[in-house]
Structure 1
Amino acid sequence: MKRHLKHALELAFIPIAAAVVFVEEVLLRYLGLAMAALARWPPVAWVEGWLRQLPPWAAVLAFAAPSLLVLPVKLSAVWFAYHHRYGLSLASVIVGKMLATALVARLYRVLHPSLEKLSWFVRAETWLFGWRDRIYGFVRALPAWQKAVALIRQLRFWVRGLVSAVWSR
């Protein structure tokens, strides 16, 4: 019985974990590029410079602030759902999550030197990233993941060939 339960849980967990790993890799990569481009804008660069000078306790507060900034987006999703606008509700949750993810990732990058002065932060970071890396390793070792990666590589190669053929005309 335990083996069947374990197999059922794996069947339920694997697609979810693979989707999370894929979305996180793609989302963090492109949102990181967008946020780095935005950071070149002088007002944003000034704010980032100011954030880099914060003491560790203030850096923790600045790092936690996006959680409060996303609250209105979540409330708007509830409002849309209450008014039977489920598409807008879902869109506001997705856009809010993307913006919060981009902001937190950028803040992590900017505030990390201050945050790593806190021993509890370093312990939590080590534990979290170790856990994440084990899950990523498990998902990346799956044959389905490896086949999907190979298929994406072939598709990219095909698209590059198609684009270069069109541009060479």
Structure 2
Amino acid sequence: MRIFTRLLRALAATLLVPILLFEEWGWEPLAALVRRLARLPLWARAEDWLRKLPPWGALLAFLLPVLLLLPVKVLALFLFGRGHAASGVTVLIVAKLIGTAFVARIFQLVEGALMRIPLFARWYPRWKAWKDRMLTLVRESRPWRVVRAFNRRIYRLWRRLRGQALQ
């Protein structure tokens, strides 16, 4: 039974790591984009309202973007089923970007209220610790380091070429 449990955990980690990497990459920048909407008076009032929600209202607000994007994801599956793979992938990527942006911003606004829910306060730190361990393992892996080094070289080359083009 222990072998089965370890295998199941390894499989779950393998399936979740790409999602974790995407969300880790996108969480702050996408939330910052949505935060810019607070310049609009109506949006600023909505953010104030979110900050003042009680714990269970905050949980509902946090889960609302996930629920609202379900029909979009069903649309993507429909497109896949009809042989429109590129359209399906595009819809999924756009939905993931929009969903991550709004979930990240809402989480920033309601985290305090969510932490007043005992179950959330108990499990969120465990989830965060597990996620951080997984991301550390990925970042310490040889393939990750090789790709990062390659990206840095390309970026330096790009900056050098761009600098020469501007002169």
Structure 2-normalised TM-score? 0.80
User: Who is 2:130 aligned against?
Assistant: 131
Instruction: Give the counterpart letter for 2:125 in structure 1.
Output: T
1:60 is paired with a residue whose SS is helix
User: Who is 1:69 aligned against?
Assistant: 68
User: Who is 1:48 aligned against?
Assistant: 47
Deviation of 1:39 (Å):
3.2
Instruction: Output the CA distance in 1 between the equivalents of 2:115 and 2:15.
Output: 34
Instruction: Give the counterpart letter for 1:66 in structure 2.
Output: P
User: Who is 2:26 aligned against?
Assistant: 27
Deviation of 1:22 (Å):
4.3
1:117 is paired with a residue whose SS is coil
User: Do the aligned residues in 2 keep the contact of 1:14 with 1:139 (CA within 8 Å)?
Assistant: no
Deviation of 1:83 (Å):
3.1
Q: How many residues align?
A: 157
RMSD: 2.5
Deviation of 1:100 (Å):
1.1
Deviation of 1:20 (Å):
4.3
Instruction: Output the CA distance in 1 between the equivalents of 2:84 and 2:148.
Output: 36
Instruction: Output the CA distance in 2 between the equivalents of 1:82 and 1:156.
Output: 39
User: Who is 1:3 aligned against?
Assistant: none
User: Who is 2:90 aligned against?
Assistant: 91
Instruction: Output the CA distance in 2 between the equivalents of 1:150 and 1:101.
Output: 27
Gap regions ≥5 residues in structure 1: 1-5
Deviation of 1:28 (Å):
2.6
Among all aligned residue pairs of Structure 1 and Structure 2, give the percentage whose two residues are the same amino acid.
31
Deviation of 1:54 (Å):
0.7
Instruction: Output the CA distance in 1 between the equivalents of 2:147 and 2:15.
Output: 12
User: Do the aligned residues in 1 keep the contact of 2:32 with 2:105 (CA within 8 Å)?
Assistant: no
- The alpha-carbon distance between structure 1 residues 108 and 79, as it changes in their structure 2 partners (threshold 3 A), is same
